[in-house]
């Protein structure tokens, strides 16, 4: 966690810039960002276009239960649609829907508005379609393409924050899986992998600040797939070595499901002994795969001397089933 203070400062700068408009390049600087983008283009040539452009169609009702379905919307980029999978059952939306149905003992109606290749700027159109489904909860996976499309971090956060606000104003709970650690992607060579790791964690921390300020909660992907990727890359990443495999999507779904259940009050909301400053909590969460950040109050106050009070739950993703 040696980057935490610097990431916290970067998250604060990005969030402040997002609030007033502008770019906010952070400490990485223009030259480093240019290097990241240039090497990223080369990496994408190595990776190529995996499995077509879309995930398998997965809209539908899941869970063999009686009652009014819970309305779940899955939004974001290629990871939200399960790019690389051929069976809808292997996509994160269906995995979350089935898990949610089992916990709630109610059916879940899933609507996927995510689009492969989408960045945060594309969330507006996705929200338009999502609101037609009158969602109870929306899950958003976004961030990686903001880097590959040269989107300045404050602009990306502003688009994400606007999307969350619109969903919350419509009555939906919102859970955002923040930008994953792109330093785990093997086709990226050094120094790009180091830069990608720093950049993605700064963006993830800033996303957390923006999302919580807008009324949502975040789950940090960080290097969620990193440890298993190191020991078994063939199982955790797909053939393109960039998008997750079936086991990788399952790990992501397992990380998000507890927060979805808590947001819908299906599980009790655990409370740590004390609240934290949003900026430091966001930076720490960006380095803790599975960590959830949500707003709280301390002594009846929503804000303290260093910004909004939040709780950071150190949820650790559990072991995957052996037959996953």
- Dihedral of CA 113/115/120/125: which sign? negative
Residue whose entry in the numeric block shows the structure tokens 């993605």: 200
Beta bridge partners of 70: 108
Beta bridge partners of 294: 311
What is the C-alpha to C-alpha distance for residues 281 and 272, in angstroms, rounded to an integer?
Answer: 13
What is the C-alpha to C-alpha distance for residues 298 and 108, in angstroms, rounded to an integer?
Answer: 35
What is the DSSP code string of 149-184? TT--HHHHHHHHHHHHHHHHHTT-EEEEEPPP-GGG
By annotation, the residues acting in catalysis are 78, 240, 243
Instruction: Let me know the angle formed at the C-alpha of 313 by 308 and 318, rounded to the nearest 5 degrees.
Output: 155
What is the C-alpha to C-alpha distance for residues 282 and 11, in angstroms, rounded to an integer?
Answer: 8
Give yes or no for a contact between 202 and 157, defined as CB atoms under 8 angstroms apart: no
Helices H / strands E in the chain, number of each? 12, 10
Q: What is the DSSP letter of 191?
A: T
């Amino acid at each position: 966690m040696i980057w935490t203070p610097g990431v916290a400062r970067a998250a604060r700068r990005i969030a402040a810039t997002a609030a007033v408009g502008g770019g906010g390049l952070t400490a990485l600087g223009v030259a480093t960002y240019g290097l990241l983008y240039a090497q990223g283009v080369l990496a994408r040539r190595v990776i190529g276009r995996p499995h077509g452009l879309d995930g398998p169609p997965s809209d539908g009702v899941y869970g063999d239960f009686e009652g009014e379905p819970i309305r779940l919307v899955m939004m974001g980029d290629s990871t939200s649609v399960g790019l690389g999978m051929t069976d809808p059952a292997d996509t994160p939306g269906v995995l979350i829907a089935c898990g949610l149905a089992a916990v709630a003992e109610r059916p879940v109606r899933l609507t996927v508005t995510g689009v492969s290749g989408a960045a945060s700027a594309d969330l507006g159109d996705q929200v338009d379609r999502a609101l037609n489904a009158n969602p109870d909860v929306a899950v958003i996976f976004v961030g990686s393409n903001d880097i590959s499309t040269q989107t300045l971090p404050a602009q990306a956060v502003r688009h994400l924050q606007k999307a969350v606000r619109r969903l919350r104003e419509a009555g939906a709970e919102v859970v955002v899986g923040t930008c994953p650690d792109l330093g785990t992607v093997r086709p990226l060579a050094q120094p790009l992998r180091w830069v990608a790791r720093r950049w993605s964690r700064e963006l993830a921390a800033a996303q957390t600040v923006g999302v919580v300020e807008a009324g949502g909660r975040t789950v940090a992907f960080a290097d969620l797939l990193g440890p298993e990727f190191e020991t078994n890359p063939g199982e955790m990443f797909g053939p393109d070595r960039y998008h997750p495999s079936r086991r990788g999507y399952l790990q992501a779904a397992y990380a998000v499901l507890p927060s979805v259940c808590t947001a819908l009050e299906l599980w009790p909301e655990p409370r740590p002994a004390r609240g934290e400053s949003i900026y430091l909590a966001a930076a720490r969460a960006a380095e803790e795969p599975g960590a959830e950040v949500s707003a709280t109050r301390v002594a009846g106050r929503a804000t303290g001397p260093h910004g909004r009070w939040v709780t950071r739950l150190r949820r650790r993703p559990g072991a995957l089933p052996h037959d996953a």
